[in-house]
Homo-oligomer: A and B are copies of this chain.
Amino acid sequence: MVTDKLLKGRRDVVLDQKERAAIEAAVSEIRSIPARTVLIEAGTPVRQCALLIDGAMCRYIDDREGLRQLVAFHVPGDFVDLHSYALKTLEHDVATVTEAKVAIIPHDRIRALSADSPDLTRKLWFSTLLDAAMHRAWLFRLGRLDAMGRLAHFLCETNARLKAVGLSDGRRFQLDLTQNDLAEICGVTSIHVNRILRQLREEGICTYRSSLVELLQPELLAARGQFDDAYLYLDESPARSD
């Protein structure tokens, strides 16, 4: 199902059957996109949104020398660029990381959905605010944590998000990111990412080999990254550890 994972496990805003049906009816096309493909380029007008069904996508801003800073990483169930509905034009690029399957929904159909139901509007609005909350967590990560903390925080976040949509069992999950991707997420060099991953491995906290992440000591990893999942607005928050 197209909307199976959308807002799944999120407090207060779970979609009811009617809403799911309405969104699915608004889908104009299901598209498969190859890995490492730019879907939306900054500055170009956008007339539709993409709901990620399968695969991984990201959003990023290039600096003067073409070095990227990732500003978002997307997993199945994410409404990748719903914000383009109100913004019309994005100031960053949107691209696939792996091969991805997305549902395309034209802006004018979202407008129609929104006019029909203020309640659904609020839920969609919520979904964009969730992105903003993640941005803030990323700001914390970059501003206050050292390289190991950043990696740890990102891995905890991704684990929690994938768990919410049933793609992690809470300890192990598949993640198709290169060390360079991780570097662009965490604002460090890929060389340093490599050293930190080794350190995590040697300390028996976490391993990341051939696309498989395994959190051997999730609590310790969360502590390293000062990770608190409150900003993900999940249904059942596991006990906080502070």
Contact = CB atoms under 8 A, between A and B. Distances in A.
A155 to B, nearest CB: 17
A226 B233 CA distance: 34
A171 interface: no
A69 interface: yes
Contacts of A86: 122, 125-126, 129
Given A118-B121, A129-B86, A91 B136 contact: yes
Contacts of A184: 143
Contact of A118 (B12, B72, B114, B144): B114
Interface string A99-142: 00000000000010011001001100110110111011111101
A231 B69 CA distance: 15
A34 interface: no
Interface bracket on A? 35 or more
A83 interface: yes
How often does this chain occur in the complex, in copies?
2
Interface string A43-63: 100000000000000010101
Contacts of A83: 129, 132
A71 interface: yes
Nearest to A69: B143
A118 B126 contact: no
A231 B126 contact: no
Nearest to A240: B43
Given A67-B144, A126-B87, A129-B83, A92 B61 contact: no
A220 interface: no
Contacts of A115: 118
A181 to B, nearest CB: 13
Contacts of A230: 42-43, 91
28 contacts: A42-B230, A43-B230, A63-B140, A63-B144, A63-B145, A63-B226, A64-B226, A69-B139, A69-B140, A72-B136, A83-B132, A86-B122, A86-B125, A87-B133, A91-B230, A92-B136, A111-B118, A115-B118, A118-B121, A125-B128, A128-B128, A131-B132, A132-B135, A135-B138, A138-B139, A139-B142, A142-B142, A143-B187
